[in-house]
Amino acid sequence: MPNSPPDVGTTAATATCDDNPGAGGRTTSVLPDVLATTSCFPCLVAAKQASVHGHIVHNWKARWFVLRQNTLLYYKLEGGRKVNPPKGQILLDGCTITCPCLEYENRPLLIKLKTRTSTEYFLEACSREDRDAWAFEITGAIHAGQPGKVQQLHIQRNSFKLPPHISLHRIVDKMHDSGSGIRPSPNLEQGSTYKKTFNGSSLVDWLISNGFAANRLEAVTLASMLLEENFLSPVGARSMGAVRSGDLAEQFLDDSTALYTFAESYKKKISLREDINLSTMELSGTVIKQGYLAKQGHKRKNWKVRRFVLRKEPAFLHYYDPSKEENRPVGGFSLRGSLVSALEDNGVPTGVKGNVQGNLFKVITKDDTHYYIQASSKAERAEWIEAIKKLT
């Protein structure tokens, strides 16, 4: 790696492409290969060695990038050191940023910047982590004059809220599009070649780029739902191991070494479109509480342990069978218009059968279906009742 320039606290190597504005020529596209880290200097946000791709000279050359408060500078390199003055600059005021940018099929790690004058620049990182770090810092610089927007970006980076009426079928149909969809290809894992596969990180990039998710956390949640509904299949030890051991939030891996493919049953799913949309809507809410509780069955009246998941927006309570490998609800109901209350511990309440240990509560749905649920302690019962009441 080249030596750090004297005015940079922390640096990283990347690749860029040279520009040739000329008389009346167009300014360059920029393409860095690696992302920079934040500098300790007040006016220097990030710096890195990168490569730039010119509109006229279509080749890629190493460049050193420095991100300041509202400008992205890039320098030529000689002997591993940057050469002053800057080769060019990108004014970030009024810029729009696209990340990930999938306009170049053979360059999956791009950031696209479009200036106020509609000049486009492309930045390429050497890793997904570097690309996302650069994009995050550049986005912060673009909105530096809007403190509220910057705070919102920091919150959004680690939060998610899926649309209430998302259609998995629409996503999968788009994934199969010959022009803009996911393109499976041979991939190697642990010495074995798997045909017609794609990796987890590329699918996450695709979901964000096509507007189905706002960030990687949302995209991973969507991809996990695609797995759960058997639209996708894991391929290889890495992804198959995650499906066996993880819960819904951990089934899908945002990883370039985890492989997936389209499930053979995709076409059979078309007839189930309405059911899938309903299931997707129910599961799209934010999880606010989950844990194991005992539930009485409606037919045999026996008690079984289930993993309950409480979601809001929309408000649903789902329960899962922990003995089954597939991580999908075996039941659930809407909490809108429901009633929830604790049941007395002195004696067995009407409607309850079997070996009851106390700590019971009951949920009556809007359509008058009664659910009897047992917690492990009075404190746990109180927590569940309080959480459910807020959503009824």
Over the stretch 221-247, which tens digit does the pLDDT of each residue have? Answer: 788 878 877 889 999 888 888 877 655
How many domains is the chain partitioned into structurally?
Answer: 3
Q: What is the pLDDT of residues 67-95, one digit of tens each?
A: 888 888 888 878 877 888 988 888 998 89
> What is the share, in percent, of the chain residues with pLDDT greater than 70?
68
Structural domain contains residue 67: yes
Q: What is the pLDDT of residues 303-321, one digit of tens each?
A: 777 889 999 989 999 998 7
Same domain, 28 and 131: yes
83 vs 64: CA distance, rounded Å: 9
Residue 238: which CATH number?
1.10.10.10
Same domain, 65 and 132: yes
Residue 126: which CATH number?
2.30.29.30
pLDDT band at 335, cuts 50/70/90? very high
Q: What is the pLDDT at residue 361?
A: 93
Q: What is the pLDDT at residue 154?
A: 56
Of 210, 245, 280, which marks where a domain is finished? 280
Classify residue 143 as exposed, middle or buried by CB count within 10 Å of its CB (0-12, 13-18, 19+): middle
Same domain, 21 and 148: yes
Structural domain contains residue 2: no
In this structure, are residues 116 and 27 in contact, taking their beta carbons and an 8 Å threshold? no
Of 280, 297, 314, which marks where a domain is finished? 280
Same domain, 66 and 103: yes
Same domain, 263 and 307: no
215 vs 189: CA distance, rounded Å: 27
Same domain, 134 and 64: yes
Q: What is the pLDDT at residue 8?
A: 33
Structural domain contains residue 162: no
Q: What is the pLDDT at residue 310?
A: 94
Cα separations in angstroms, 179 against 110, 183, 199, 357: 19, 9, 19, 60
Structural domain contains residue 3: no
Residue 52, SS3?
Answer: strand
Q: What is the pLDDT of residues 122-170, one digit of tens each?
A: 888 878 888 888 888 888 888 876 666 656 655 555 555 555 456 778 8
Structural domain contains residue 144: yes
Structural domain contains residue 124: yes
Instruction: Tell me how crowded residue 301 is: count the other CB atoms within 10 A of its CB.
Output: 12
Residue 35 in this model has a pLDDT that exceeds 50 = no
Structural domain contains residue 5: no
Q: What is the pLDDT at residue 263?
A: 86
Same domain, 46 and 130: yes
Q: Who has greater pLDDT, 2 or 371?
A: 371
Same domain, 142 and 203: no
Torsion of CA 247, 277, 174, 258, to 10 degrees: 10
pTM reported for the whole predicted model = 0.49
Of 123, 156, 189, which marks where a domain is finished? 156
**Domain residue limits at 63:** 13-156
Same domain, 270 and 345: no
Classify residue 365 as exposed, middle or buried by CB count within 10 Å of its CB (0-12, 13-18, 19+): middle
